[in-house]
A and B are shown apart, each in its own frame.
Chain A
């Protein structure tokens, strides 16, 4: 039945793929609804605000896309961000006596953030690939470990960056080039590189192969463990990058930093059309997913139609809806 005729060749073209269009249509609808409800919605200030706030989750979610595509999961990213922020601030404060209030301290702080992120990702990745423990369990464990470590470092309170240092560091979040804030620029660059890596490099191809069938990947000369561990390391580095953007915003870290970020990141990935079980990932979809989630929050804040306290509920409905739509596509096939 597979090789009957050529007249099915059109089928792919004619049929509208709801998995491709769904998230985009939802995003456009949200923009229209927002614009109609509040005149300020499309203002420069509001757009910058929404995008800059999306950047943290967005950068993390790009990394999460690779982890999920390769059939994994990482629940620890929120705690990891808090832990990295804590270590980074402590290191920077400790360096001030030596280097003074200078960019050298900031650069060393950034390096610390990336290195700690990489190490944390490697920790997860090695436990999953070498000790062969399920990703869910490993990252559930490390989620508790990182969260508890930051609470301990802060002694139950808040770790604050030196006040003068904060003034110097602030522009990394609030300034930018040509009116585009730095977090937005970094997010855009990460997303574009991520999309290219997913679609046009062997790393992306191998992630999809492992997520879709690990055995087949192994028999096709793919280094399954190495690639899988690499997805967690990449995610860890991106968490470090997000933290670099986040610290100048508040200048502090506490046990409540980054709470539930992991769920927002995972939700964005799924809304974007990446398959939770692995085998298929789409970075641009993740970007759309992140924007959808933050626009909902923003619209609820700007309008008084629905209480902003219901933000979580509406996000939840959207996540479930996204998965239902994915299912339907599968059933059609």
Chain B
């Protein structure tokens, strides 16, 4: 309240928690895209002072539901009720004018503008006809301080990291002083610490009487923050219940529609294979200093640490996507890696955490994306289109990529299917060492399970895998050995029974000093 007081007078009438009329509701809403129906006869309520979680697998219809609520999509059938009265939002802006604000998963930020300009985009504070820079700066600082981040309001959005962008997107929504706040997987790119800060803000808004819609693939978060939970499956509502009556397992099973066991495959004991990759004293710009580690054949090595601890930079330096110095040995022989092509030649493939900006060409078809990295294998002066199609067939089969048509643009695939396609693309280059950065970010639990099992099969087949992850359970569940990074250095290395949440967190936060010469 105190921080947004400058922005707008309190537009709420009276919004006591548990009030009878929902602030925003869907009544028998259906939606079809062409012949494909994605929502069936959906009822959904958002009440003041209540956090309502909407969960489901990728493609269950969550995004469509949120976009209809926030005015970005129209319903094919059914009604939208605002304070009990039917409304039609002509656009997202119209919905915002009624106090319905959405935080997008794909960031809606102008990359060339500064953080401050983005926060006030379209709602600039003015004094007369001139922009009131002073007041905007002060408000921006307040908003960012409330989110406990140290982002510079003058920084250009293109230059800040993914989690920072998420924080800016959240700050922007908070500045709108919303009656209804719709959050599309706000924590997907945040660490648990940052997520915790976000949850405190959510609780604050709930106490103020804001109605909040929250989606996440992390069910512990849902359990932690939600009052109500609605589960969607294949465009239909499966259940709505108070969060306290549902266990995480019950939620997962309702989403998937089957019993879910063994999310992680059982670990096979590491059989001390030869060292495949030895990195010594790798320094990457100012982000990474003197990092050394080994990777053995058939091993899954986890990389843990806070976002910004330099994990991604290590790998990007290793594969030649960033300027780096240090010694790299593959199979005992030193190699020079100056470009991604050198890395490919050395048998190293890197699957980026940023699949939309670094991984896939969103406006091209699956085939073109699939073969881009391994194109030389398909080229003998001319590209062998038939071989490419055959490779696509195999990849669709092997990775269970589900797309309505083969020629579909990759940008229209769901996140899970994009990730599977990206995996297929990397594997097509037949690497010996596979580095996977955030393998399951923004992906539903069913697909997660598939990806974990796939990673495990890779290791069983004698490939060596590095998995970078901000999800603690993921690192613990899949890795044989874990390197923990902190502030651009290796804070320690854990293996066997030491791979547990407590040890990792202590190293990542700098509470413990690990024995560094462990490898």
Binding site for B on A (CB under 8 A): 1-9, 11-12, 196, 200-202, 205-206, 208-209, 212-213, 215-223, 279-280, 333
Contacts and interface: CB of A to CB of B under 8 A. Distances in A.
18 contacts: A1-B33, A2-B58, A2-B59, A8-B34, A11-B405, A201-B382, A201-B383, A202-B383, A208-B368, A209-B364, A209-B368, A212-B361, A216-B372, A218-B340, A219-B340, A219-B350, A219-B359, A220-B425
A4 B59 contact: yes
A212 B368 CA distance: 12
B133 to A, nearest CB: 29
A220 B402 contact: no
Given A9-B405, A209-B361, A223 B341 contact: yes
Q: What 3 pairs between A and B have smallest CB-CB spacing?
A: A3-B402, A1-B38, A8-B404
Contacts of A221: 339-341, 343-344, 373, 429
Interface in B368-387: 368, 372-373, 375-376, 379, 381-383, 385
B207 interface: no
A218 B373 CA distance: 10
Interface string B326-351: 00000000000001110110000010
B372 A209 contact: yes
B405 A213 contact: no
Given A1-B61, A202-B383, A208 B373 contact: no
A9 to B, nearest CB: 5
Contacts of B413: 2
Contacts, number: 118
Contacts of B408: 2
A213 B357 contact: yes
Contact of B404 (A3, A200, A279): A3
A201 B381 contact: yes
Nearest to B316: A219
A219 B321 contact: yes
Contacts of A220: 340, 372-373, 425
A6 B234 CA distance: 14
A205 B372 contact: yes
Most A CB atoms within 10 A — which of B38, B358, B381? B358
Given A1-B33, A1-B61, A1-B414, 17 more contacts: A1-B59, A1-B63, A1-B64, A2-B408, A4-B59, A9-B404, A202-B375, A202-B376, A208-B361, A208-B368, A218-B340, A219-B350, A219-B358, A220-B425, A222-B372, A223-B341, A333-B409
B314 to A, nearest CB: 15
Chain A contact residues, majority secondary structure: loop
A201 B58 CA distance: 35
A177 B372 CA distance: 41
Interface of B: 33-38, 58-59, 61, 63-64, 234-235, 321, 339-341, 343-344, 350, 352, 357-364, 368, 372-373, 375-376, 379, 381-383, 385, 402-405, 407-409, 412-414, 417, 425, 429
Contact of B362 (A2, A9, A213): A213
Contact of A8 (B36, B58, B234, B357): B36
A307 to B, nearest CB: 42
Contacts of B364: 208-209, 212, 279
Contacts of A218: 321, 340, 358
B388 to A, nearest CB: 10
Nearest to A275: B363
Contacts of A3: 59, 402-404, 414, 417
A201 B375 CA distance: 10
B36 A4 contact: yes
A137 to B, nearest CB: 17
A3 B420 CA distance: 13
A2 B382 contact: no
A282 to B, nearest CB: 14
A215 B354 CA distance: 10
A5 B359 CA distance: 26
A263 B339 CA distance: 37
A319 B373 CA distance: 36
Given A11-B34, A208-B368, A221-B373, A200 B385 contact: yes
Contacts of A1: 33, 36, 38, 59, 61, 63-64, 235, 414
B471 to A, nearest CB: 23
B358 A12 contact: no
Contacts of B360: 216
Nearest to B62: A1
Nearest to A1: B38
Nearest to A206: B375
B344 A2 contact: no
Most B CB atoms within 10 A — which of A2, A205, A215? A2
B184 to A, nearest CB: 14
Contacts of B407: 12
B403 A216 contact: no
Nearest to B376: A202
Contacts of B403: 2-3
